[in-house]
Amino acid sequence: MISEALAQGDSMIHRLDPCVRVVCAFGVSFALALSEQFGVLGLYLVFALVLVALASLGAGPVLKRLKPVLLFVLMIWVILPFTHEGEPLLRLGPLTMTRPGVELCLRITIKSVSILMVFIALLATMTVATLGQALHRLRVPDKLVFLLLMTYRYIAVIQEEYQRLLRAARFRGFVPGTNLHSYRTYAYLAGMLFVRASLRAQRVHNAMLCRGFNGTFRSLDSPLSNRLNPVFMTGVSALTLVLVVTELLWK
Amino acid sequence: MHISEGVLSGPVMMAGAALAVAGTAVGLKKIDYDRIVHVAILSSAFFVASLIHVNLGPSSVHLILNGVVGLLLGWAAFPAIVVALFLQAVFFQYGGITALGVNAVIMALPAVICYYLFSPFLNKGKKTVFAASFLAGAGSVFFSCLVLGFALYLTEKSFFEVSLLVVTANLPVMIIEGIVTGFCVTFFHKVYPEILPRPRGRSNP
Amino acid sequence: MTNPIIKLENISFAYPGATEKILDSLSLEVYHGDRIGMMAPNGSGKTTLFHTIMGLCRPDSGTIEIFGSPVSTEQEFQAVRSRIGLMFQDADDQLFCPTVVDDVAFGPLNLGLSADEARDRAREVLATLGIADLENAITHRLSGGQKRLVALASVLAMEPSVLLLDEPTAGLDNGVKEKLVKILNHLDISYVVISHEFNFLTAITDRVFSMESGKILSDDEVRIHQHEHMHKLGNHPHKHV
């Protein structure tokens, strides 16, 4: 279910220190989300495309990952240009497209697609294990990092338990439908997942105690030293700064 | 139920992020080291459960169950939900980084509110438990819709109709969530009551 | 005779709410160099026994001595826990870190080793078990057999004086079982193994005990042995009286 296929590559981006990638992803995403000018947004789009290219991800996998956002974008293009008030741009029979409506749609489209491409290029190219390590080195609180890694670790285990429970229910003739019986069955399945999760948590906690856990998290830090780290960091920061300044001056 | 990247205005996005950081910080503070594994693995269960699709007429909707997580974890539900949403973003690209704050508030705040409103009724009789958890399940989806609608409205006044649409479209989801949460919590009562929070005052949620 | 590593005396334990005692005045001594097997039906309290030794279940009565000194409080148990390696029945409970090397290094890090030392120790143990190539693997993607070996590595990395193995072969295919037999026979360490599998136990232990109604039956009372004859349920361990 969970595939971390994009993390397997060996591109320039994959070889960068995960910390550098996390910082860049945050910086670029927020700068991008706060921009309004079409010229600047267009440059961000190009920037995001360059990052995806640097990560040498095929168009197929990237488009697949973008599917949810593309569907969302399609939906807003069907609605917003016609419902938004403002100066009419185009009449299509009884419907009127307004200029502000179209501009809003265009802005959302560029922003959402670019932000997700930045995310895919910089973050989806590492495993959550690596990401957790990076967050730890970036001084994200230990508890939160531990929570993230532990949640990640047990998703596959619980997913498997769910499949087994569902199979057992099907073997006993369960056919889901829109009725109370089905909802109750799903409620019990979900309830069972939580119960098993809780029981497992006790066992895992015991296992941690057995291996000397005493309330402090220690971890193996393994920074990836790479000549490219400072170069990439500086390049991305400089570009983002230029775009932010341009955005501010444009107004 | 979430807001896509690139939709929200700067102030709304930043306010959401600030609220999410604050909520997460409070939640983390309430989790001591004996409970952290519990919170983490329940968060995995929440992640998996939210992939369960149930039929709704000819179509289907996925479960949300933030009400259940709220009732089970109290404030700790906040970081648990944030982590699950972040992992959803990493694996499925349902969202990215900038909308994470607002989306976390949309899902987690109602969970915590429902904990405070309804968990006092969980050690009562079977019918009360079902009613309270039905309201917690339906209520947390309703509150989520409200927060989502409010965030959209603050971003752009013309999103008002969209916000109304969100609430209306989610009415059946609220009912399903209510029913599922009701059965789910009565199930806990029957098979494993230890999972439910003890009456407040003796434990820290 | 030297002191026992583990000494349980008259241990009784019942789960809260349960009427029957799962451990009933049980006594057990494990000495240095012992290789003990334990065979018993499900629900006979074997896992509870291990958890009692580790201080995860506190007995209602009886005394526990480990390395010659009595233990009863959490602090006392914490001090000895790292020297006893308990391998859990479900490897997924034991391997909670995202990658193999993180997991194997978890114990050594808790023992106070530096990150580099812990990493070296982890690599060493993985190499000893012949799974050095798994170092950077993502834990949840491993096969059942690989998980079991990594779980063993994570316990061995703490360099314990004695191992407690809870059903180490459950769900494994014969190839991995044979590997496990080879590994255990080459380890210079005392251990107690719970298993359903007679052949596995005889291959790796010197003595086999059985548990019944919360007590350990010593060699005098029962000796599990193999001889060929046929009767109903003959594939289960059984007593001939």
Report the residue from C92, C115, C154 with minimal CB separation from A211: C154
Residues A176 and A101 in one domain: no
Residues A176 and A94 in one domain: no
d(CA C98, CA A155): 11
The verdict on B198 touching A (C-beta cutoff 8 Å) is no
A3 CB neighbours in chain C (<8 A) are none
CA separation, residue A160 to residues A1, A136, A153, B43 (Å): 10, 29, 13, 15
Q: What is the pLDDT of residue C191?
A: 94
C56 CB neighbours in chain A (<8 A) are 206, 209-210
User: Residue C171 has which token pair?
Assistant: 């769900």
Q: What is the pLDDT of residue B179?
A: 96
Q: Which of B9-23, B162-176, C7-21 reaches the highest mean pLDDT?
A: B9-23
**Is residue A219, in this structure, part of any structural domain at all?**
no
User: Domain of C135: which CATH number?
Assistant: 3.40.50.300
Whether B22 has a pLDDT exceeding 90, the answer reads yes
Please report, in angstroms and rounded to a whole number, the separation of the first and last CA atoms in chain C. 33
Query: What number is the ipTM of this complex?
Result: 0.93
Q: Are B6 and A111 in contact (CB under 8 A)?
A: yes
Q: What is the pLDDT of residue B204?
A: 43
d(CA A187, CA B146): 25
d(CA A11, CA A24): 17
Tracing tokens 């947004």 back to the chain, one arrives at: A41
* Structural domain for C77, as ranges: 6-217
| Cα of C159 vs its chain's centroid, Å | 14
**Is residue A150, in this structure, part of any structural domain at all?**
yes
CATH of B10-195, one of 3.40.50.620, 2.40.50.180, 3.30.43.10, 1.10.1760.20: 1.10.1760.20
C106 CB neighbours in chain A (<8 A) are 208, 211, 213, 218
Mean pLDDT of chain A: 89
> Which is more confidently placed, B128 or B158?
B128
User: Residue B79 has which token pair?
Assistant: 């970081």
- Do A208 and C96 make contact, defined as CB atoms within 8 angstroms? yes
Residues A62 and A151 in one domain: no
Q: Are C111 and A141 in contact (CB under 8 A)?
A: no
Query: Whose CA is closest to B31, among B40, B44, B20?
Result: B40
**Residue ranges per domain, chain B?**
10-195
Q: What is the pLDDT of residue C218?
A: 67
B87 CB neighbours in chain A (<8 A) are 128, 148, 151-152, 155
Mean pLDDT of chain B: 90
Nearest CA in chain B to A153: B44
Element (H, E) at A27: helix A18-33
Query: Whose CA is closest to A114, among A54, A57, A33, A59?
Result: A33
The verdict on A213 touching C (C-beta cutoff 8 Å) is yes
Report the residue from B43, B52, B57 with minimal CB separation from A147: B43
Q: What is the pLDDT of residue C228?
A: 53
d(CA B143, CA B76): 18
- pLDDT tens, position by position, A70-111: 998 998 898 888 888 888 888 888 888 889 889 999 999 999
Strand pairing partners for B179? none
Instruction: Give the confidence band of B201 by pLDDT, cuts at 50, 70, 90.
Output: very low
Q: Are B143 and B113 in contact (CB under 8 A)?
A: yes
User: Residue B30 has which token pair?
Assistant: 């309430």
Residues A157 and A199 in one domain: yes
| Cα of A84 vs its chain's centroid, Å | 29
Q: What is the pLDDT of residue B202?
A: 42
The verdict on B153 touching A (C-beta cutoff 8 Å) is no
- Do A129 and C98 make contact, defined as CB atoms within 8 angstroms? yes
Digitized pLDDT (tens) for each residue of chain C, 241 residues in all: 578 999 999 999 998 888 888 898 899 999 999 999 998 777 788 889 999 999 998 999 999 999 989 999 988 998 889 899 999 999 999 999 989 999 999 999 999 899 999 999 999 999 999 999 999 999 988 999 999 999 999 999 999 999 999 999 988 888 889 999 999 999 889 999 998 888 899 899 998 888 887 888 865 555 555 555 555 665 666 655 4
- pLDDT tens, position by position, C41-95: 777 888 899 999 999 989 999 999 999 899 999 889 988 898 999 999 999 999 9
| Cα of A204 vs its chain's centroid, Å | 28
- pLDDT tens, position by position, B66-86: 999 999 999 999 999 999 999
The verdict on A96 touching C (C-beta cutoff 8 Å) is no
Alpha-helix residue ranges (DSSP H) falling in A84-127: 99-122
**Is residue C57, in this structure, part of any structural domain at all?**
yes
> Which is more confidently placed, A212 or C225?
A212
Report the residue from A4, A207, A220 with minimal CB separation from C88: A207
For residue C40, the SS3 value is coil
pTM, rounded to two decimals: 0.89
Instruction: Give the confidence band of A222 by pLDDT, cuts at 50, 70, 90.
Output: low
* Structural domain for A151, as ranges: 140-210
| Cα of B58 vs its chain's centroid, Å | 26
**Is residue A20, in this structure, part of any structural domain at all?**
yes
For residue C63, the SS3 value is strand
**Interface test with chain A among C96, C140, C162, C163, by most A beta carbons within 10 Å:** C96
B52 CB neighbours in chain A (<8 A) are 162, 186, 189-190
**Is residue C231, in this structure, part of any structural domain at all?**
no
Q: What is the pLDDT of residue C227?
A: 52
- Å between A144 CA and nearest CA of chain C: 14
Amino acid letter, residue B12:
V
**Is residue A135, in this structure, part of any structural domain at all?**
no
- Do C138 and A219 make contact, defined as CB atoms within 8 angstroms? no
**Is residue C167, in this structure, part of any structural domain at all?**
yes
Q: How many domains does chain C have?
A: 1
Whether B16 has a pLDDT exceeding 60, the answer reads yes
**A63-72: long-range contacts (C-beta < 8 A, 24 or more apart)?**
A65/A6, A65/A116, A65/A120, A65/A124, A65/B92, A65/B93, A66/A113, A66/A116, A66/A117, A66/A120, A66/B93, A68/B92, A68/B93, A68/B94, A69/A112, A69/A113, A69/A116, A69/B4, A69/B5, A69/B93, A70/A113, A72/A112, A72/B4
**Is residue A88, in this structure, part of any structural domain at all?**
yes
Q: How many domains does chain A have?
A: 2
d(CA A92, CA C138): 55
- Do B97 and A115 make contact, defined as CB atoms within 8 angstroms? yes
- Å between A107 CA and nearest CA of chain B: 8
**Is residue A31, in this structure, part of any structural domain at all?**
yes
The verdict on A147 touching C (C-beta cutoff 8 Å) is no
- Do A207 and C115 make contact, defined as CB atoms within 8 angstroms? no
- Do A190 and B52 make contact, defined as CB atoms within 8 angstroms? yes
Residues A202 and A235 in one domain: no
- Do B90 and A124 make contact, defined as CB atoms within 8 angstroms? yes
**Is residue C92, in this structure, part of any structural domain at all?**
yes
Q: Are C164 and C53 in contact (CB under 8 A)?
A: yes
SS (H, E, C) C107-137: HHHHCCCCHHHHHHHHHHHHHHCCCHHHCCC
- How many residue contacts between A and C have a Cβ separation below 8 Å? 92
Nearest CA in chain A to C74: A209
- How many residue contacts between A and B have a Cβ separation below 8 Å? 218
Query: Whose CA is closest to A20, among A104, A90, A121, A93?
Result: A121
- Do C56 and A206 make contact, defined as CB atoms within 8 angstroms? yes
Contacts of A73 (CB under 8 A, 6+ apart): A105, A108, A109, A112, A113
B86 CB neighbours in chain A (<8 A) are 148
Q: Are A192 and A165 in contact (CB under 8 A)?
A: yes
Chain B residues 61-80 with CB within 8 Å of chain A: 63, 65, 68, 72, 79-80
- Å between C120 CA and nearest CA of chain A: 11
Amino acid letter, residue B120:
P
**Is residue C228, in this structure, part of any structural domain at all?**
no
